[in-house]
């Protein structure tokens, strides 16, 4: 297995939210460029929302395509509900497989949270591709030891959200040369997300392991 390394700088202020969002976006990017999904995450999400709806994807109804148009209409006779959207055709087997994949990928991404970073202070996050986590064919590892401790405080304001989004795009750009130097990707593989944290952090948090 070849080893490729690059140094990626996370723009200040380094908050747990910035790091988590950047990791999630890089993982989505890796799934696409390593040919583990046929299109980008956002394109897949948009097409599935249009085909099967938000509920089938386990997403809130506000994610639904055209959700903003289904509001009450105020007229001379008072408020009335806007017409309900037409019923969708039954999902095809291909769409059901895509929904299953999307939900599993979303569950994997959901394992990375600001609370996890703040509580366990992981030193490494790794994405494995292969038939088994014990014998991966590809490993993409992100070392977090150099990040500041504690993380900066995150403010939920539009300007801060833009900083988080821009930081993720910058991290992806800095990863592109390293990923491009990797050999061609293998066929479809299983993905495993591994988080390495100090033993003391695990015991202090009361976290346990489960199968």
**Distance (Å) of CA 206 to CA 108, 118, 121:** 22, 14, 14
* pLDDT value of residue 2: 60
Which residues form the domain of 28? 16-65+90-205
**How far is the C-alpha of 114 from the C-alpha of 101, rounded, in Å?**
24
Q: Is the pLDDT of residue 65 over 60?
A: no
Asked whether residue 3 is assigned to any structural domain, the reply reads: no
Domain membership flag for residue 31: yes
pLDDT tens across 124-175, in order? Answer: 999 999 989 898 999 999 999 888 888 998 888 888 889 999 999 999 999 9
* CA atoms lying within 13 Å on the CB side of residue 102: 26
Position 206 confidence tier, pLDDT thresholds 50, 70, 90: very low
The answer to the question of residue 111 being in a domain is yes
CATH number at residue 146: 3.30.900
Mean pLDDT for all residues in the chain? 83
Q: Is residue 131 part of a domain?
A: yes
Predicted local confidence at residue 94, as pLDDT: 92
Q: What is the tens place of the pLDDT at every residue in 77-111?
A: 555 555 555 677 788 999 999 999 999 999 999 99
Tell me the mean pLDDT in the region 16-36.
Answer: 95
**Are the C-beta atoms of 134 and 190 separated by less than 8 Å?**
no
Instruction: Please state, in angstroms and rounded to a whole number, the distance separating the CA atoms of residues 191 and 24.
Output: 14
User: Does residue 189 belong to any structural domain of this protein?
Assistant: yes
Q: What is the pTM of this model?
A: 0.81
Query: What is residue 70's predicted lDDT score, i.e. its pLDDT?
Result: 45
> Does the pLDDT at position 29 exceed 80?
yes
85 is a domain residue? no
Query: For the chain, what is the domain count?
Result: 1
132 domain-assigned = yes
Residue 65 or 30, more confident: 30
In the predicted model, is pLDDT for residue 112 greater than 60? yes
- Is 1 within the bounds of a domain? no
């Amino acid at each position: 297995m070849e080893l490729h390394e690059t140094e990626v700088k996370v723009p200040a202020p380094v908050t747990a939210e910035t790091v988590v969002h950047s990791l999630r976006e890089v993982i989505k990017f890796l799934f696409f460029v390593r040919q583990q999904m046929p299109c980008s995450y956002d394109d897949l999400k948009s097409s599935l929302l249009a085909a099967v709806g938000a509920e089938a994807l386990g997403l809130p109804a506000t994610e639904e395509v055209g959700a903003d148009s289904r509001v009450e209409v105020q007229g001379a006779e008072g408020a009335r509900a806007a017409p309900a959207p037409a019923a969708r055709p039954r999902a095809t087997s291909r769409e059901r497989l895509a929904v299953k994949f999307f939900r599993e990928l979303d569950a994997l991404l959901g394992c990375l949270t600001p609370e996890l970073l703040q509580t366990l202070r992981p030193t490494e996050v790794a994405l494995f591709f292969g038939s088994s986590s014990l014998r991966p064919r590809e490993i993409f590892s992100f070392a977090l030891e150099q990040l500041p401790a504690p993380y900066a405080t995150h403010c939920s304001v539009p300007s801060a959200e833009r900083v988080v989004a821009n930081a993720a795009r910058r991290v992806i750009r800095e990863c592109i040369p390293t990923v491009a130097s990797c050999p061609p990707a293998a066929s479809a593989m299983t993905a495993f997300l591994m988080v390495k944290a100090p033993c003391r952090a695990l015991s202090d948090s009361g976290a346990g392991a489960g199968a």
